Amino acid sequence: MTDQRPVLWITRQLSANTVARAVRDYDTVLEPQDIPASAERIIEMSNVVDAILPCHSEIFSSDVVNRLGSRLKIIANHSVGVDHCDLDALAKRGIVVTNTPDVLSDATAEIAILLMLGAARRAIEGDAIVRQQQWDSWSPSFMVGHQVTGKRLGIVGMGRVGQVVAKRAAGFDMQVHYHNRKRLNPELEGRAVFHENLDSLLENSDVLSLHCPATPQTSKLMNHRTLSMLPKNAILVNCARGALVDEDALITALDSGQLAAAGLDCFEVEPGGNPNFSAHQNIFMLPHIGSATFETRDAMGFRALDNLDAFFKGEKPKDKLV
């Protein structure tokens, strides 16, 4: 650190441990309200701070980046995904960008398994029946769902989270198949089956779990064509990014019986989600809480601060993207 402490702006309400460490080491500006910072607020603060620790809710579009003040040196994101940042525009401005990989893989993988089981075993319907005191009968045909044990699990994007999901699925004796930009080395791949193209994976996925980033190439990756390639009564799980799924196509696939169910933790519009999903009891939904554990929130905050510490010591941040 330099003798004069850098000024850091934290845009959202982070964990108490993260804030305590930030206040200890930086001249920290905290927002009184836990709401997304507007473009104008981001531009305003960029003139008076050296660093910003934002979340995925703060949008650094090319227009915003071009208007940032010259004082701002680094954006240390409290997220893995950086599709809210125009990296090319930030690189041109010489602003360093970091993220927080590794630390949220376990928590997000847990949510993927929860979504899979909740969708397969009709958790929404079952909870509603008991909660509304409508459980007044039983028969062998009552609340019959789909078993996942022994089924084929397809994973799109075998990065950190995808690899943890594969390990957890092994506990259900699931046969793991995956599609990735490149094949994993044998130690990481284990017994998983690699598919060089997506279509091949889809044909072999009773459950399909999405774990790839949102890019122009993956936008609406799951659409009418790709959903139709899954085996009938397949289950779709998405705890990556809402942009990966064409939501109208998903509803069509569910209504037609092509898909048995879906488990979703992310949506095209956030916050809020898709109101048309509410009528479908075979969609198990959560409000984008994949990494929302106390342990992970501390780890994410500390990882962002580690990157800031390195930068202001004149070192390369571990998670430097640009």
Q: What is the pLDDT of residues 83-131, one digit of tens each?
A: 999 999 999 999 999 999 999 999 999 999 999 999 999 999 999 999 9
Question: Could you tell me which residues are beta bridge partners of residue 236?
Answer: 208, 262
Q: CA 155 to CA 177: how far, in whole Å?
A: 6
Residue 1 in domain: no
Residue 319 in domain: no
Same domain, 111 and 180: yes
Q: What is the DSSP letter of 81?
A: -
Containing domain of residue 75, as a range? 7-103+294-312
Q: CA 163 to CA 159: how far, in whole Å?
A: 6
What CATH number is given to the structural domain containing 195?
Answer: 3.40.50.720
Same domain, 70 and 136: no
pLDDT digits (tens, 9 = 90+) for 27-52: 999 999 999 999 999 999 999 999 99
If you average pLDDT over residues 217-226, what whole number do you get?
97
Same domain, 67 and 164: no
Residue 321 in domain: no
pLDDT interval class at 3 (50, 70, 90): low
Same domain, 162 and 217: yes
Domain count, the chain: 2
Same domain, 18 and 34: yes
The residues assigned a catalytic role are 241, 270, 288
pLDDT digits (tens, 9 = 90+) for 4-30: 999 999 999 999 999 999 999 999 999
Q: CA 212 to CA 244: how far, in whole Å?
A: 8
pLDDT digits (tens, 9 = 90+) for 183-220: 999 999 999 999 999 999 999 999 999 999 999 999 99
Q: Which of 229, 197, 107, 221 is nearest to 160 (CA)?
A: 107
Same domain, 170 and 234: yes
Same domain, 125 and 254: yes
Q: Which of 211, 178, 204 is nearest to 109 (CA)?
A: 211
If you average pLDDT over residues 280-293, what whole number do you get?
97
Contact criterion met (CB below 8 Å) for 154 and 174: no
